[in-house]
């Protein structure tokens, strides 16, 4: 089956060549669409034949030298070069070109190998442009490189009857070790940025926590100050009321009695608490007198600062 298919392809090509030869023998030739034929008379260029059927009197020395396609063709060129920072890269350029019908004779006769000619110009422009740029700039300015290649090709190939339709830099491939190093540098930079952001967040948390603690202590201090002020005011009001209602008592006597009462209340609370450890405090009339004098001095100092 495979041998029959291959033989069929050969037969089709042979039949086409046979039909062309027969057409020339009969003085007729067919030119396909998007194609032009080059007619020569006794070996000299005569005219360009458009698509269609043409008479070709071979007896008068006319013959077809060849055909030229007017379709857009594409040539991919891979060029190895070095950047400004000494990194070898493979630059892949895609050139789309076509022959001009009005300059078909130049395209047919002036160039023997169009693809090699275009490839040479692409090599020349890329190897002159990329070494002026760093690796990162090469990626960023690939459109400028493509434009430079297109301008140079357009200027050169227009003399040979070809039009440069489009030029693209489709890929820039550094060495595998260079790509791995670039990825590691990028990853390290992102990790450093993440560490800085994390440290900044922790700093903000610590500052806010310290501000909260300072505000809490400030408010606690205000509460204690107000509590003590309320105690002093209450004791003062109690002393004044007792002195007015019980004749013959002085403020000192009332204060001593209040302090002794507070002292015994404190002793009662200490003894009533089940979680209280052993507490040793002096007890006796002399101790009460000392405590009273200490509290009195504290109250007097508090009144002096008000």
Q: CB of 163 within 8 A of CB of 157?
A: yes
Read off the pLDDT of residues 167-200 as tens digits, 9 standing for 90 and up. Answer: 999 988 887 877 787 778 878 888 888 888 888 8
Strands across the sheet containing 88-99 = 73-82, 88-99, 162-174
Of 97-106, 132-141, 268-277, the range with the lowest mean pLDDT is: 268-277
The CATH code belonging to domain 73-174 is 3.30.479.30
| Residue (of 38, 32, 43, 168) closest to 93 by Cα position | 168
Read off the pLDDT of residues 17-45 as tens digits, 9 standing for 90 and up. Answer: 555 555 555 567 888 888 898 888 888 88
Give the C-alpha distances (Å, rounded to integers) separating 57 from 20, 33, 101, 144.
Answer: 14, 22, 24, 52
Q: Is the dihedral of CA 252, 255, 260, 261 positive or negative?
A: positive
Q: How confident is the model at residue 273 (pLDDT cuts 50, 70, 90)?
A: low
Percent of the chain with pLDDT over 70: 73
Structural domain spans, the chain: 22-69, 73-174, 179-239
Mean pLDDT of 61-66: 84
pLDDT higher than threshold 50 for residue 50: yes
Q: How confident is the model at residue 6 (pLDDT cuts 50, 70, 90)?
A: very low
| Mean pLDDT over each residue of the chain, to the nearest integer | 78
Mean pLDDT of 149-162: 89
Which tokens is 185 given? 């540098």
Give the C-alpha distances (Å, rounded to integers) separating 213 from 51, 207, 208, 209.
Answer: 93, 10, 9, 6
> d(Cα 306, Cα 303) in Å, to the nearest integer?
5
> d(Cα 177, Cα 85) in Å, to the nearest integer?
15
Q: CB of 219 within 8 A of CB of 204?
A: no
**Residue with tokens 């920072």, as numbered in its chain:** 85
At 224 the pLDDT is 83
Q: How confident is the model at residue 4 (pLDDT cuts 50, 70, 90)?
A: very low
Q: CB of 51 within 8 A of CB of 17?
A: no
Q: CB of 114 within 8 A of CB of 161?
A: no
> d(Cα 192, Cα 108) in Å, to the nearest integer?
61
């Amino acid at each position: 089956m495979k041998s029959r298919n291959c033989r069929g392809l050969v037969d089709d090509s042979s039949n086409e060549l046979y039909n062309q030869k027969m057409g020339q023998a009969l003085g007729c030739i067919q030119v396909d669409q998007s194609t032009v034929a080059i007619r020569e008379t006794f070996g000299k260029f005569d005219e360009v034949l458009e698509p269609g059927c043409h008479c070709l009197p071979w007896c008068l020395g006319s013959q077809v030298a060849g055909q030229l396609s007017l379709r857009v063709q594409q040539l991919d060129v891979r060029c190895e070069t070095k950047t400004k920072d000494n990194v070898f890269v493979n630059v892949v350029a895609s050139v789309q070109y076509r022959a001009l019908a009005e300059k078909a004779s130049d395209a047919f006769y002036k160039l023997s190998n169009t693809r090699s000619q275009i490839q040479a110009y692409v090599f020349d422009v890329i190897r002159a442009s990329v070494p002026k740029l760093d690796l990162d700039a090469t990626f960023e300015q690939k459109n400028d490189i493509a434009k430079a290649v297109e301008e140079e090709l357009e200027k050169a190939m227009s003399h040979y009857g070809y039009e440069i339709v489009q030029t693209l830099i489709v890929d820039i491939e550094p060495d595998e070790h260079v790509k791995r190093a670039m990825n590691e540098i990028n990853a390290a930079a992102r990790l450093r940025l993440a560490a800085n952001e994390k440290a900044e967040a922790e700093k903000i948390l610590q500052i806010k926590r310290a501000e909260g603690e300072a505000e809490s202590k400030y408010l606690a201090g205000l509460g204690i100050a107000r509590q003590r002020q309320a105690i002093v005011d209450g004791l003062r009001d109690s002393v004044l009321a007792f002195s007015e209602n019980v004749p013959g008592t002085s403020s000192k006597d009332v204060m001593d009695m209040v302090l002794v009462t507070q002292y015994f209340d404190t002793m009662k609370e200490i003894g009533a608490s089940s979680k209280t450890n052993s507490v040793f405090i002096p007890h006796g009339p002399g101790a009460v007198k000392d405590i009273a004098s200490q509290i009195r001095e504290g109250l007097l100092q508090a009144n002096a600062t008000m």
